[in-house]
Amino acid sequence: MKNQLRGSIKINAKGRDLYGFINAVHASRISCFSQYVKGGSFCAEIYRSDLGRVTDIADEHGIELTHFEYGTLSAEVIRRRRRFGIALGLVLVIAASLYFSGVVVTIDIQGNESVSDEVILAALDGMGVHRGTPFRRIDYVTCENQLQLGVEGLSWAGMHRTGHRLVVEVTEVVEKPEMRRTRIPCNLVAAHEAEIVGTTVVDGQLMHKVGDYVRAGDMLISGVTGDDTGHTTLHRAMGTVTGIYSEEAAFTGELIQERLVPTGRTDTRRRLRLFSLDIPLYLGRNGYELRDEESTEKPLVVFGKTLPISVTRQRYTEYAREETELTPEELTDELMEKVYIYEKNFLSDCEILERDITQTEKDGTLTLTVAYRLKGDICSPREILIK
Amino acid sequence: MFEKLTDRAGEVLSPVSGIHIESNRELIVENCRRIEECDEVFMQFISGHLRVQVWGSGLRAYDHKTGGLVIRGRISRVELAERRRQSDEKPASREH
């Protein structure tokens, strides 16, 4: 390490008065390492600072001296002493380090679930606390109180500094839990006009048997039971009554449709985000009337740490309105996709026994009428109104 | 003149030289006055009133500005010989 800082030089001396030279070096109290004589030549290592004195001694004794400097840290620095860019870079790094150590680089919000980060950041911004704000200007107590009062849904807020991070810890207001309505007495009535094919009663009294035909609103399982003594008990009727019922759905589409079609023109614009500053790196405005915007942000990362400097790339794609005339087959395919989505979303909990699709075309529109024959639970809870 | 005087004073005032050997890898000598041989297999130097001879292989001398000398390498033999006084040496040289 010492050699890396002081610089190490290998010397090679030749001449008649070689031992005179060696003893003169020794007497001059010069640090001289790894000395040996081989083939009438003296080899040793010295520090760079001693080279001048050794050269003088060599001249006095008529010694031919050659030297070679090892690649040490100080040698590299001296070799590059005229490269002002390195010095400038070092100065910039030190200046940046000093600057970033005194300002808010990142705001870390912890403990929030329902209140979003954006709301808290906006409230802090209103108090003058944002990325780039010097830490010494932040009045922590006032900001904490303002946050509690200003942001709805916060019951407590605490702020502290960790390095270049401003940590905002919050506790949210715990809402009163909603009353569960699963224990309220109720009957189960038929949601559809159906033929009963199966029953399972967990609680309550079954009002229809398998094979009965019920209309929508008919009581299936009663939550009111009475005994021989005239005592009436209210239950929450629970059970499953499986029925076969019919349902109809219609899907309509126009044969001539106005659609947005990409023109093929795109425009990419970049913005430099420096703390809270948003600097556009372009001139003029985007003139696309109809456009799709895609935005990506790429922050600057140094040694795994994300700095508050980023480049935002916005890509605009131009669209134009275009009238498209579809053939009945194309429109039928589109409508069939809607039918599939409808079945997936609304009929997934029952079994489709039959599906009858009727296609009608009228005044430039195509309608698909789907008649289903379904098998599933037809029970619907209805509260018992009592005084 | 001054250097000779201080050397002579050093010889008179501190004639004792410390020698420390660590295994066969390192030899530390205090008060090294003169290096006479500095080979990879043989080194010879004057320390106090002693002439120290070191045999070995891959020998290297390290000078740490203290007046002493550190010898590192594979040391196989060390020989210490008392130096003769100059008055004793002079007649001998005259014979030649």
pLDDT higher than 80, residue A16:
yes
Q: Which residues pair with A172 in a beta bridge?
A: A154
DSSP line for B24-93: TTEEEESSEEEEEEEBSSEEEEEETTEEEEEEEEEEEEEE-SSS-EEEEEEEEEEEEEEPPPHHHHHHHH
Nearest to B39 among A27, A33, A36 (CB): A36
**What pLDDT sits at residue B87?**
47
CA-nearest residue to A41 within chain B is B39
Tens of pLDDT, residue by residue over A161-171, are 988 889 999 99
**What pLDDT sits at residue A184?**
83
8 A C-beta contact, residue A131 and residue A105: yes
The pLDDT mean for chain A works out to 89
Place B11 in a pLDDT band, splitting at 50, 70 and 90.
low
- Among A28-32, A52-56, A179-183, A321-325, which stretch is predicted with the lowest mean pLDDT? A179-183
Tens of pLDDT, residue by residue over A193-206, are 999 999 999 988 89
Q: What domains can be seen in chain B, in order of their start residue?
A: 2-85 (2.60.40.2000)
CB atoms within 10 A of CB A253: 17
DSSP state of A134: B
Q: Are strands B26-29 and B69-82 parallel, antiparallel or unpaired?
A: antiparallel
Domain contains A181: no
Taking an 8 Å cut-off on Cβ atoms, the answer to whether A36 and B61 are in contact is yes
Do A71 and A110 have their domain in common? Answer: no
Percentage above 70 pLDDT, chain A: 99
Domain contains A163: yes
- Among A234-238, B62-66, B88-92, which stretch is predicted with the lowest mean pLDDT? B88-92
Using DSSP's 3-state secondary structure scheme, residue A214 falls into strand
Query: Measuring CA to CA, which residue among B11, B31, B25, B14 is closest to residue B54?
Result: B25
CA-nearest residue to B40 within chain A is A36
Number of folded domains that form chain A = 5
Residue A174 Ramachandran class (φ > 0 left, ψ -120 to 50 alpha, else beta): beta
Rounded Cα–Cα distance for residues A312 and A310 (Å): 6
Do A36 and A69 have their domain in common? Answer: yes
Domain contains A61: yes
CA-nearest residue to A17 within chain B is B36
8 A C-beta contact, residue A115 and residue A157: no
Q: Is the dihedral of CA A237, A240, A246, A250 positive or negative?
A: positive
Domain contains A96: no
Using DSSP's 3-state secondary structure scheme, residue A273 falls into strand
Domain contains A89: no
Give residue A315's Cα distance to chain centre: 20
Domain contains A101: no
Domain contains A8: yes
Taking an 8 Å cut-off on Cβ atoms, the answer to whether B63 and A38 are in contact is no
Mean pLDDT of A70-84: 83
Place B14 in a pLDDT band, splitting at 50, 70 and 90.
low
Q: How far is CA A49 from CA A72, A243, A287, in A?
A: 14, 102, 69
Q: Are strands A305-325 and A290-302 parallel, antiparallel or unpaired?
A: antiparallel
**pLDDT: which is higher, B92 or A317:** A317
pLDDT higher than 60, residue A25:
yes
Taking an 8 Å cut-off on Cβ atoms, the answer to whether A30 and B69 are in contact is no
Do A301 and A340 have their domain in common? Answer: no
Nearest to B35 among A23, A29, A33 (CB): A23
**What pLDDT sits at residue A93?**
92
Which residues in chain A are contacts of B34 at CB distance < 8 A? 23, 26
Domain termination residue (choose one: A42, A63, A78): A78
pLDDT higher than 70, residue A80:
yes
Do A125 and A143 have their domain in common? Answer: yes
**What pLDDT sits at residue A53?**
93
- What's the ipTM? 0.78
Which tokens go with A283?
């001139």
Q: How far is CA A359 from CA A302, A330, A352, B11, in A?
A: 63, 13, 20, 126
Q: ∠ at Cα B74 (B68, B80), nearest 5°?
A: 50
Rounded Cα–Cα distance for residues A129 and A166 (Å): 10
Q: Are strands B50-63 and B42-47 parallel, antiparallel or unpaired?
A: antiparallel
CA distance to partner chain A, nearest, from residue B68 (Å): 9
Residue found under tokens 């109104």: A385
**What pLDDT sits at residue A324?**
85
Taking an 8 Å cut-off on Cβ atoms, the answer to whether A35 and B38 are in contact is yes
Taking an 8 Å cut-off on Cβ atoms, the answer to whether B61 and A35 are in contact is yes
Do A310 and A356 have their domain in common? Answer: no
Tens of pLDDT, residue by residue over A222-260, are 989 888 888 888 888 999 999 999 999 999 999 888 888
Mean pLDDT of B65-86: 85
User: What CATH number should be reported for the domain holding residue A67?
Assistant: 3.30.70.600
Domain contains A197: yes
8 A C-beta contact, residue B60 and residue A36: yes
Residue found under tokens 């009963």: A196
Rounded Cα–Cα distance for residues A163 and A33 (Å): 46
**pLDDT: which is higher, B86 or A375:** A375
Taking an 8 Å cut-off on Cβ atoms, the answer to whether A26 and B63 are in contact is yes
Q: Which residues neighbour A65 within 8 Å (Cβ) at sequence distance 6 or greater?
A: A11, A12, A13, A54, A55, A58
Which tokens go with A28?
């001059």
**What pLDDT sits at residue A339?**
93
Tens of pLDDT, residue by residue over A101-116, are 888 888 899 999 889 9
- Among A27-31, A259-263, A383-387, which stretch is predicted with the lowest mean pLDDT? A383-387
Do A262 and A273 have their domain in common? Answer: yes
CB contacts < 8 A (A, B): 50
**What pLDDT sits at residue B10?**
63
Do A8 and A57 have their domain in common? Answer: yes
Place B90 in a pLDDT band, splitting at 50, 70 and 90.
very low
Q: Give residue A30's domain range.
A: 2-78
Nearest to A31 among B3, B39, B64 (CB): B64
Rounded Cα–Cα distance for residues A330 and A366 (Å): 11
Do A319 and A331 have their domain in common? Answer: no
User: What CATH number should be reported for the domain holding residue A147?
Assistant: 3.10.20.310
Tens of pLDDT, residue by residue over A135-144, are 999 999 999 9
Which residues in chain B are contacts of A24 at CB distance < 8 A? none
pLDDT higher than 70, residue B3:
no
Do A14 and A68 have their domain in common? Answer: yes
CA distance to partner chain A, nearest, from residue B58 (Å): 9
Do A264 and A236 have their domain in common? Answer: no
Do A339 and A306 have their domain in common? Answer: no
Domain termination residue (choose one: A243, A267, A289): A243
pLDDT higher than 90, residue A27:
no
Nearest to B35 among A22, A30, A31 (CB): A22
Do A204 and A217 have their domain in common? Answer: yes
When scoring B7, B40, B54, B63 by the number of chain A Cβ atoms within 10 A, the one with the most, hence best to mutate, is B63
DSSP line for A356-384: EEEEEEETTEEEEEEEEEEEEE-EEEEE-
**What pLDDT sits at residue B93?**
38
Q: Which residues neighbour B33 within 8 Å (Cβ) at sequence distance 6 or greater?
A: B7, B10, B11, B45, B46, B47, B48
